[in-house]
Amino acid sequence: MTIADWVRDWFRVTDVVILGYFVVINTSYLFLIVLATAEFVRHLRHRPFAGLDEMYRSPLTPGVSVLVPAFNEESNIVTSVQGMLALRYPQFEVIVVDDGSTDGTFERLRAEFDLVETPRVVPREVPAFGRVLGVYVPRLSPEPLTVVRKENGGKTDALNTGINLARQPLICMVDADSILDPQALLAVAKPFADDPLRTVATGGVVRVANGCSVVAGRIVEVRMPQRWLVRVQVVEYLRAFLLGRTGWSRLGGLLIISGAFGLFRRDLVVEVGGLDHNCIGEDAELVVRLHRHLRRTKRDYRVVFVAEPVSWSEAPSTARVLGWQRRRWHRGIAEILWKHRAMIANPRYGRIGLLALPYYVVFELLAPMVELAGLVMVPLGVWVGAVDATFAIRFLLVAYGYALVVNLIALTVEEFTFARYPRWKDLALATAASALENLGFRQVTAFWRAMGAWSAIRRSRQTWGVMTRTGFNEAP
């Protein structure tokens, strides 16, 4: 056998393996969507009897501390805080931690809420290294608002400072560029009220706020964004954040609760030491660490994803900001999997060790590398004669055609369950965005994600990048 024959055989085998990989990963997405659909049907059937009004009136409803880390968020911060203070919940407080902002974040808050400094000792129950410069409250208003100014230490340090200041048994972590639905806290806290002994964490849906109309911290009209880059992210968030996590929750293997909207038992967060300063994916790492701790101590517990309450967040509107975000996200996955590698394929950790973590290694961590390899290996395989044009067409249909079908099924499920986008034009734009996701967006984000994994391997300096905000669309 000649060297040319060896090369052709190698390409032939490699291309078939990559093709099989895409078949399995897209089928897994479809399976999660089926599970999510079953959960949505159950949820919608029980929604009239959810008892949120009773929960609002009950003196037994656990209090919530809403933690809002903020760094250079002057464009959105007042609108976001207004919306959080208007949430429908019997007992809660909002703690904004200004993490050394260099813009007008604090000045906007001080002017809007007439803040004055108050003497308050900040406990040290979890590690927080940035020096607190001052704690502020509204001068005369009864608003349950506390604003903390501290030296810059990163999002994790800001959240740990908020945890130390929190006075309620539940803590809700929310991004400063987020707007919560009025019933969001009630809905996401419902599992804690229903099963207070076992529920340790719940997560809510994150959707894209770009293009929506906002009045006084409330989303009053939902529209598709103007830019195609953001429209594609709407579809991506729908598939991954709503349907994917709902499916994993139904399997009992939820690993990620977004830092943009997650609710945790404060005592357990303190028990495991707060958020990890050394991991850039601090929100997901906390969930995995809770799984690890509770499995080791042999406690019965639940981590639940709730599909109904929504946190509306501003998605990146430029390729530069999107690139920073995707590199950071994938580096976080790599760091989490490496830190908790002893859990992978370990029967001691049940479904988390045997199913969820191996899935994340194979179909999340390695996915961008396989995608980029396919983009290179299949054309080369055709060029050297290892595979024919029929195989190349089959590869495109499986890798991208199948993915488009999965996206369209996800859109259909969303439309028949929650129907957040009521206009036919918005549905048409979402359908077009589903196709565009496979024509350039996936390939470029795969490159960014691979760069994030490489930075984790090299252990280069962690950086968030410049996350420029354009601000919400404030309706008159």
pLDDT at 382: 74
Confidence of residue 237 (pLDDT cuts 50, 70, 90): confident
Q: Which of 3-12, 116-125, 199-208, 385-394 is least confident?
A: 3-12
Confidence of residue 143 (pLDDT cuts 50, 70, 90): confident
- In angstroms, the CA 171 to CA 264 distance is 5
Percent of the chain with pLDDT over 90: 47
pLDDT digits (tens, 9 = 90+) for 391-424: 778 888 888 888 888 888 888 888 888 777 888 8
Which 8-state DSSP code applies to residue 365? Answer: I
pLDDT at 471: 58
Whether 453 contacts 326, CB under 8 Å = no
pLDDT at 438: 87
1 vs 212 pLDDT, higher one: 212
pLDDT digits (tens, 9 = 90+) for 4-47: 667 667 767 777 888 889 899 999 999 999 998 888 888 788 77
Helix, strand, coil shares of the chain, percent, nearest 5, are 55, 15, 30
Q: Residue 228: is its pLDDT beyond 80?
A: yes
Q: Which of 33-47, 84-98, 185-199 is least confident?
A: 33-47
**Edge-to-edge order in the sheet of strand 473-474:** 218-221, 213-215, 473-474
Residue with token string 């959080």: 84
One-character DSSP codes across 370-392: HHHHHHHHHHHHHHTTSS-HHHH
Q: Residue 1: is its pLDDT beyond 60?
A: no
The mean of the pLDDT values for the chain is: 88
pTM (two decimals) = 0.91
pLDDT at 421: 82
304 in any annotated domain? yes
Residue with token string 């601090």: 282
Count of domains in the chain?
1
Q: Residue 149: is its pLDDT beyond 90?
A: yes
447 in any annotated domain? no
pLDDT at 464: 60
> Strand runs (DSSP E) across 18-103, as ranges?
64-70, 92-99
pLDDT at 215: 82
49 in any annotated domain? no
Q: Residue 437: is its pLDDT beyond 80?
A: yes
pLDDT at 473: 59
190 in any annotated domain? yes
List the CATH number of the domain containing 113: 3.90.550.10
116 in any annotated domain? yes
On the 0-12 / 13-18 / 19+ scale of CB atoms within 10 A, 303 is buried
Q: Residue 181: is its pLDDT beyond 80?
A: yes
pLDDT at 347: 94
Q: Residue 288: is its pLDDT beyond 90?
A: yes
**Edge-to-edge order in the sheet of strand 302-313:** 115-117, 132-138, 145-150, 92-99, 64-70, 170-174, 261-265, 199-208, 302-313, 178-180
Whether 454 contacts 335, CB under 8 Å = no
5 in any annotated domain? no
Q: Residue 102: is its pLDDT beyond 60?
A: yes
pLDDT at 341: 94
Q: Residue 208: is its pLDDT beyond 60?
A: yes
Confidence of residue 474 (pLDDT cuts 50, 70, 90): low
Could you list the residue range(s) of the whole structural domain that residue 93 is in?
A: 65-326
Q: Residue 106: is its pLDDT beyond 70?
A: yes
pLDDT digits (tens, 9 = 90+) for 341-393: 999 999 999 999 999 999 999 999 999 999 998 888 877 777 777 677 777 78
**CB proximity list for 343: less than 8 A, separation 6 or greater:** 288, 291, 292, 349, 352, 353, 357
Tokens, residue 164:
């130390």
Mean pLDDT along residues 78-89: 90
59 in any annotated domain? no
Q: Residue 267: is its pLDDT beyond 70?
A: yes
440 in any annotated domain? no
Mean pLDDT along residues 88-115: 93
pLDDT at 475: 56
Most confident of 52-56, 261-265, 278-282: 261-265
pLDDT at 5: 64
94 vs 469 pLDDT, higher one: 94
Confidence of residue 301 (pLDDT cuts 50, 70, 90): very high
Mean pLDDT along residues 145-166: 94
If residue 312 lies in a helix (H) or strand (E), which one and from where to where?
strand 302-313
Mean pLDDT along residues 431-436: 90
